Structure 1
Amino acid sequence: MTRRALLGFLALPLLLAACGPKGSYKDVPPEELYRALALGAVVVDVRTPGEFAQGHVPGAINLPVEEVARWADQIPKDKPVYLYCHSGNRSRRAAEYLARKGYTNLYNVVGGVLAIERAGYPLVR
């Protein structure tokens, strides 16, 4: 294989990735989540139903990250969507998945419920 052919072959995955949907998400603190609640943002708790029942953000819907492939297409693309979990790890994974599907209006709450409680924001119990 010539050097030129090899370079072309190696560049193919990058080219294919560039052709796919381009999404993104932003990491935000709990303060931004609670400001967005007042503006009608969609809030998704990606924890398990048991964790959700122990306390969740007012108005949040429970869509476990383990089932993200099933519910991803139900999330609106025309509204801000805030994702959170216990510590921010599962919600980041959900945000990355949705971003790969072309979502751009995504926000991951850094620190999740732990940060929300530490900041003194209310949870529904």
Structure 2
Amino acid sequence: MANYQNIDLGAFSQLQQQGEVQLVDIRDPESYARGRIPGALRLHQGNLAQFMMEGEYDDPLVVVCYHGISSQSAAQYLAEQGFEQVYSLVGGMQAWTQSGAEVEAG
């Protein structure tokens, strides 16, 4: 059975510096529109099949939610679908914004 790993902000930053990282945000549309990690794709039931067809299964995949709880089950699901390096961001978007990191809106 494939598994995901939890990743904190420091390790996430290092992962981004190493190369291509896929970033998916599973929060609701309004929260996503108000602010997200730059480059994040909002992943939901309506675009999941397309993401599965177009996703890079070899590239690291980081899942973000509100507080780092819901992203764990989503990360496990994606790992079970064949993504090789799947991570759940510890603390989620709350940790990201509290760190003072850049937030993309719109």
Q: Distance in 2 between matches of 1:25 and 1:56?
A: 22
Contact 2:21–2:60 at 8 Å: present in 1 too?
yes
Which residue in the other structure is 1:34 paired with? 13
Contact 2:58–2:84 at 8 Å: present in 1 too?
no
Structure 1: segments with no counterpart, 5+ residues: 1-21
2:78 pairs with 1:98: yes
Matches within 5 A, 1:102-113: 102-113=82-93
Q: Distance in 1 between matches of 2:84 and 2:2?
A: 5
RMSD: 1.9
Distance change in 2, residues 1:89/1:68 (3 Å) = farther
Contact 2:58–2:83 at 8 Å: present in 1 too?
no
Structure 2: segments with no counterpart, 5+ residues: none
Q: Tell me the TM-score normalised to structure 2 length.
A: 0.82
Name the structure, 1 or 2, with higher relative contact order (CA <8 Å, separation 6+). Answer: 2
Query: 1 or 2, which has the higher helix percentage?
Result: 1
Identity among equivalent positions (%) equals 27
Q: Tell me the TM-score normalised to structure 1 length.
A: 0.71
Which residue in the other structure is 1:63 paired with? 43
Which residue in the other structure is 1:78 paired with? 58
Which residue, 10, 30, 52 being the options, matches 1:50? 30
Distance change in 2, residues 1:31/1:53 (3 Å) = same
Q: Matched residue pairs, number? A: 103
Q: Report the alpha carbon displacement of residue 56 of structure 1 after superposing the two structures with TM.
A: 0.5
Structure 1: 4+ residue segments shifted above 6 A? none
Q: Distance in 1 between matches of 2:46 and 2:69?
A: 15
